[in-house]
Structure 1
Amino acid sequence: MPYELRKKPAAKKAPEVPSFRPRTRKSAKRSNGAPAPHLILAVPPATAGAPHASAQPALKRMRTQVPDRILEAAPSIVIVRSGNTIEANRFCSLCANGGTLSVCSKCDGSVCQDCVKPANNIAFTCPNCHDGGPYPHKLTYTSRSRGSTQMLDSSPLCIIAFRLAGSPDDGSAEHVAYHRVYPYFRGNVALITVWFNLEDDGAQIGIAVGDLIDTLTGHDFAQFNRFVVTITTHSDPGRGDLHIIPKNQGSLTVSNLMEFLLPAGLQKILGRGSEKDRNLCVFFTCGAAVKRVSSFEDIRSLEASGLFAEVIGFTQKDLQPELLSSWFSELVYSYFVLNYNSSEPVLKNHHVTGSHTGIVSFRKNTIYEYAWVHPTRQPFGKPVVAQCPECGHLNSWTKSLRQGPKSTKKVAPLKDGYDLRCKTDDCEAILSCDPPSTNDWMWVGQPLLDGPHGAWLRFDRTLCECIPTL
């Protein structure tokens, strides 16, 4: 238990234990963490250098169901894309409708003439980009909430999902995100799944990545300048290495695996957009990848390479990617449709994600760790066992504010810590809940410790030297 019991009542009679054992059922563990032998693989020149041209690109235009035994043998890539291509600024950023659109001269966002009637002989700027003073155009739209004044960007977007061969992808976070943003993109969004298995020293992934490069350099994908890259695999809990062979048969360091997944030819494609065409990278792996120093530094180096505006990992030691689908789909929508500058604004509506895992964000030489907090279940990001250790009752904790100095007789601020007291009659158990001992944390948004869903706590880890304390 992470909290010490500060005061104990008189000894109580232990509850009777039944004479039978509860039924149990063994099932395969579905988390993304397990030990695996550490390997070191050299990257073939064809994979590390210029774009590879495969003799017979093994790709599928429509998504099909592929048995696991085939995926473990020689998987390649699967492409999901449908619908016609559309203009990048086809939606009005005020009413989210179409019609006759005027394109802003500053942000390239569109506003329909039913919302704003542009003045003649004046460069058009949307209300968001107006510098102040009288607005030269006639605004007829009545609602000005923040959500309805964002530029709805439909510029082509490609989601590249690297998945360890044999891992289930039905209902994956990438598929949920694809369908979430599809109404805004139609044929401008594509999901490409790349299955990898390096038991042949990287020959298979070399062919698969070669097919990926051939696809992205082809005519159909020439206009795609924005990318989301995800890596879904297991991680070794002791070293933070990422699995490269199914069934825990081998693992590589993060940097070594990235040499196979992101060779120079693919890096060139990821970097062909302008500064506003930000890329995003998410590691759907267990927490060891961000809790071990070497793997942490590898991920930090990936962000520092300039390929991605933000790289994200998770702190949960037994990550369940299925629980992140809602958060990830909202992240892709906010990042690439509404053009948010970071993943932080997305967090406040995803307490279910927070109750499962913390999030580590690497962006612009800054490292933030986000921990979900709840007044009685996870004070200051540290989980509490729901059962009282004294009386045995479940969910009996209630928050109790501490008293300040006796001279003032004021209640101590919530940020200074508080107590959890058992509300069961005749039980006096108390748990002390103290904030982190460091000064590198702050609240994200309002400190909603009194709310039913909790809140998020942000730690600035940029200057932290002891990474395993995450």
Structure 2
Amino acid sequence: MVKSKQTCKKSTGGTAPRIALSLPASTGAVTAPGELNVREPSEHNEFCLICRDGSVGEDCLFLCSTCPRVMCSNCMNIPPASAHAVQADDVTFVCISCHVGMERHGRASQSPYFGFYRKGQPLLPSFLQICATLEVSLHSQLSSAPTLMLHLVLVDHDVTGGCFELASEFLRPYFPSGGFEFRSIVFDIGNASKIDEYRLQATAIIQSLMSSNWARVVVAITNHTDNEHGDPFIGYEGNKKSYVSARVHSVLDVLLSPWHPLIHGAAESYLWLFSCGALINNVTSFSGLQQAVIDHRITATIGFNAVRFQPSFATHLLLAFAELVIIERLPIHIVFPDMLGQSYKLGRHTDVFLLMPDNSGSLAVTKFAWTHSQLRPWGQYLPVQCPQCGWSNAWCSVNMHKDYIFECKNGQCRKKILLPGKRPGSCWISVVLRPMPSVPDEDED
């Protein structure tokens, strides 16, 4: 007898009947006292650009006069005779990143790096020697700008050991002086009274967070989506524990609007959607998602299209985001390929979508697909077995009339699959998608 067993599912799909959300009379952002001001960029990093460490005892961090970066005395060979002179009030310090940047952009000719200057002239008798290896890009920072992470979790959805909380623990040591918060909020918005409760809960949390000026706000929504319509689950309509769903634009309006004082007050905001791929694969729901991203003025939104998406598989991508975007302050649209480079196994599970609105109100949508010359040629899946004869591990590539095709190795079968294009080896490819026009909902007349 074949042995079998059951384990709990980790994927985020399923089915739930669609309902129309009964919105309260007021669905705007909650009222919060005072204005949120983005943290001034003049505040400097907490860790050295070179070694990515702090400074204690006799060592100190020198603050760059032209950017937020700092460098520690342990990474520079400052002559003992100049140790006190470099800390004089009339001396300015320029980090190695700014020095190289001025040379690259033509604002200064190539010259030795002196670091310390008095009235525009080098203070040291010879160039300043850096005695450590640069561990990050010269474009990077080690930023501790105030960062808020909000995790909105569907009621009764198990997120034990989830990747979003793991990312928060990774980030926490980078904020030794405070300025980092992680909040997890369980939502059940299946009817009007529950929406009111959710908004009151959000109001109380916002009141407790208003004392800080959050420069970055990262929101994650973890829930299920309806397999057919792509509608996000919203909780229970009544007391019976049976999930219901609603159109994506309505759901995001209810979930995100209360947090607008924080999201819109931040210099950068990010939305991670940990839900199954029907949200993106369904044309209507994906169109609604794109409009919601524009309406809520999110800097960047990340989504996935795996039919049975498992959020834990995105852990490496999220940690790379935390390091490159949050800490090193690199633009997400530039470093996204590097983030994916640390997450190649994710590509065997799902494509990744990056949605970014611009100042004109239009939306840039990019699909990233993982490719492998044998497993997923040109970003398209090969069946595990030949659908005609049932052989497994059956495919071989053939060059036929300058077209590359895959055919079954079974001489009695020779089933052919034609896949356009060719990309050797293994890598991620990006495909720029045309933003979808608004699609009328099928429930509307």
Q: Same fold (TM over 0.5)?
A: yes
Indicate the larger mover: 350-359 or 299-308. 299-308
Partner of 2:404: 418
Partner of 1:38: 18
Residues 208 and 323 of structure 1, relative CA distance in 2, 3 Å threshold: same
- Runs of at least 5 residues in structure 2 that lack an aligned partner in the other structure: 34-42, 79-85, 104-108, 116-127, 440-445
Map 1:347-366 onto structure 2 (within 5 A). Answer: 347-363=340-356, 364=358, 365-366=363-364
Is the contact made by 2:290 and 2:436 (CA closer than 8 Å) also made in structure 1? no
Map 1:224-373 onto structure 2 (within 5 A). Answer: 224-246=214-236, 248-263=242-257, 266-273=259-266, 277-305=267-295, 307-342=297-332, 343-363=336-356, 364=358, 365-373=363-371
Q: Give the deviation of 1:465 after TM superposition.
A: 6.5
Is the contact made by 1:388 and 1:429 (CA closer than 8 Å) also made in structure 2? no
Is the contact made by 1:38 and 1:250 (CA closer than 8 Å) also made in structure 2? yes
- Secondary structure of the structure 2 residue equivalent to 1:457: strand
* Residue 152 of structure 2 corresponds to residue 167 of structure 1: no
* Residue 429 of structure 2 corresponds to residue 460 of structure 1: no
Equivalent-residue separation in structure 2 for 1:395 and 1:374 (angstroms): 15
Map 1:61-460 onto structure 2 (within 5 A). Answer: 89-99=45-55, 100-116=60-76, 123-129=92-98, 130-132=101-103, 133=109, 134=111, 135-137=113-115, 138-144=128-134, 146-147=136-137, 150-186=140-176, 187-201=178-192, 202-217=195-210, 219=211, 222-246=212-236, 248-263=242-257, 266-273=259-266, 277-305=267-295, 307-342=297-332, 343-363=336-356, 364=358, 365-388=363-386, 392-401=390-399, 404=402, 418-420=404-406, 429=414, 431-435=416-420, 449-450=424-425, 454-460=426-432
Q: TM-score, normalised by structure 1?
A: 0.72
Residues 380 and 123 of structure 1, relative CA distance in 2, 3 Å threshold: same
Q: TM-score, normalised by structure 2?
A: 0.76
Residues 376 and 254 of structure 1, relative CA distance in 2, 3 Å threshold: same
Indicate the larger mover: 139-148 or 243-252. 139-148
Counterpart of 2:23, as a letter, is V
Partner of 1:71: none
Is the contact made by 2:44 and 2:70 (CA closer than 8 Å) also made in structure 1? no
Equivalent-residue separation in structure 1 for 2:387 and 2:436 (angstroms): 35
Counterpart of 1:367, as a letter, is V
- 1:341-377 deviation per Cα after TM superposition (whole angstroms, max 9, x unaligned): 1133200121111111111110133110011111122
Counterpart of 1:301, as a letter, is Q
Partner of 2:122: none
Indicate the larger mover: 382-391 or 278-287. 382-391
Residues 306 and 203 of structure 1, relative CA distance in 2, 3 Å threshold: closer
Equivalent-residue separation in structure 2 for 1:107 and 1:361 (angstroms): 29
- Runs of at least 5 residues in structure 1 that lack an aligned partner in the other structure: 1-19, 54-86, 405-416, 437-442
Q: Give the deviation of 1:422 after TM superposition.
A: 5.2
Q: Give the deviation of 1:423 after TM superposition.
A: 5.8
- 1:165-192 deviation per Cα after TM superposition (whole angstroms, max 9, x unaligned): 0000110111111122222224432210
How many residues are paired up? Answer: 381
Counterpart of 1:420, as a letter, is F
Residues 402 and 191 of structure 1, relative CA distance in 2, 3 Å threshold: farther
Q: Give the deviation of 1:430 after TM superposition.
A: 5.8
Counterpart of 2:219, as a letter, is V
Residues 146 and 402 of structure 1, relative CA distance in 2, 3 Å threshold: farther
- Secondary structure of the structure 2 residue equivalent to 1:102: strand
Equivalent-residue separation in structure 1 for 2:396 and 2:181 (angstroms): 48
Counterpart of 1:44, as a letter, is P
- Secondary structure of the structure 2 residue equivalent to 1:229: strand
Partner of 2:118: none
- Secondary structure of the structure 2 residue equivalent to 1:48: coil
Equivalent-residue separation in structure 2 for 1:204 and 1:296 (angstroms): 28
Counterpart of 1:260, as a letter, is V
